Amino acid sequence: MSATATVSTPTGLAPSVPTAILAIARRELRDALSSKWFAMFTIAFAGLAIALSFLSLAGAGSSGFAGFGRTTAGLLNLIMLLVPLLALTAGAGSIAGERERGTLLYLLAQPISRSEVVIGKFLGLSGAICASLLLGFGLSACVLTWRAGGVGVGAFVALVALTCLLAMSMLAIGLLISVRSRKTSVATGLALCVWLALVFLSDLGLMAGTILFKLRVQEVFALAVLNPLQAFKMGVIMQMNASLDVLGPAGMYASRTFGDHLAWMLPGVVGVWGAMAMVIAMVLFARRVSV
């Protein structure tokens, strides 16, 4: 990310709160968009999303029945792998990077609070990541427009919205890591650890626990839904099927117990993770004695 940029505010005046946040957000957006890592992600995500929509069209050939088959699941898997990876590392790199390069000092010398810096960076990076995701989804929708008469638009829009929410949540966690890290390499390493834990380790551990301790159905559901990625997945399935019954006994238990409340509870879990990470990040950053 380029470090030479400065915050452009009207000269001579202390910026109002939104102006300062927006200025930082704009700079962050611009820096993110000009980074190669970001361009690579955008191209990879768009390419895979288009390929998957072609594949799912081929799969839905007979009777035009768009079931929740393996191909549709592919898009979910892709999102759950790539989106947290990008968002976590982007967030982790942002403040730690500036700290390492020494530009954070200049940034904090401006008449703005530390919370505004965190919020500004969050907004800017959110904008960049969401723009990149929307490009991928938009192209994918283009393919679906062409032939998928039966595909529900509502479910697709929900998928896009939930993915953006997931990205923002992961970004917040990345920022939390970034606030505490002295070096970009350490922050990125930590972000990768968190990614690994969220995507694989927690689920695998819970699987082992389910088998070893013969967990009851409500325990399995409660523990699984704590993981924001699982909550995201269930949220998408909820929008597509209006029920979690494809997820076996635990899903049926959830649908039976919570019913339509799941439609907001599951995105709620994802959102709460992000909000908590964001608050903690701001508190920690504000309390830091050094930059």
Partner 1 sequence: MLDMRYRNIGISIFVLTALAARCLAAQTTDVIGALIDAAAPGSTITVPAGVYQGHLRITKGVVLDGHGAVTIDGGGEGTVVELLAPNTTLRGFTISGSGAGVDREPAGIRAETGPVVIEDNVVDDVLFGIDLRTAPDSIVRNNLVTSKHLEAGRRGDGIRLWWSHNCTIEDNSVHRSRDMVFWYSEGLHIRGNHVTDSRYGLHFMYSHDTTLEHNTLDGNSVGIYLMYSNRITVQDNVLVRNRGASGYGLGLKDCDDIVVRNNAMLANRVGIYIDNSPSSVDSNGLVEHNAVQYNEIGFLATPNTHNNDLTENAFIENEQQVAVHGKGDLAQNHFARDGRGNFWSDYAGFDLQGDGIGDLPYESRNLFESLLATDPNLRIFVNSPAQQAVEFAGRALPQLQPNPSFTDPSPLVQRPVSLAAGTSSRFNAAMGFVSLILLCVAGAGLWLGAERGLRRKEALS
Please give the residues from 103 up to 162 whose contact with partner 1 meets the rule CB under 8 A: 127-128, 130-135, 137-139, 141-142, 144-151, 153, 156-157, 160
> Is residue 36 within the footprint of partner 1 (CB under 8 A)?
no
Among 18, 47, 69, 102, binds partner 1 (CB under 8 A): 69
Shortest distance (Å) from residue 136 CB to partner 1: 8
- What is the nearest approach in angstroms of partner 1 to the Cβ of residue 206? 8
210 interacts with partner 1 by CB under 8 A: yes
Q: What angle do CA 188, 190, 193 make, to 5 degrees?
A: 110
Residues 6+ apart with CB under 8 A from 61: none
| Total site size for partner 1, rule CB under 8 A | 77
- Here the contacts of 218-222 (C-beta below 8 Å, separation 24 or greater) are 218/253, 218/257, 220/250, 221/250, 221/251, 221/253, 221/254
Interface with partner 1, residue 165, by CB under 8 A: no
Among 70, 101, 182, 288, binds partner 1 (CB under 8 A): 70
Q: Which lies closer to partner 1 via its Cβ, residue 231 or residue 281?
A: 231
Q: Could you give the CA distance from residue 245 to residue 234 in angstroms, rounded to a whole number? A: 10
Q: Which is nearer to partner 1, 90 or 237 (CB)?
A: 237
Element (H, E) at 26: helix 17-33
- State the minimum distance, in angstroms, from the CB of residue 152 to partner 1: 9
CB 230 within 8 A of CB 207: no
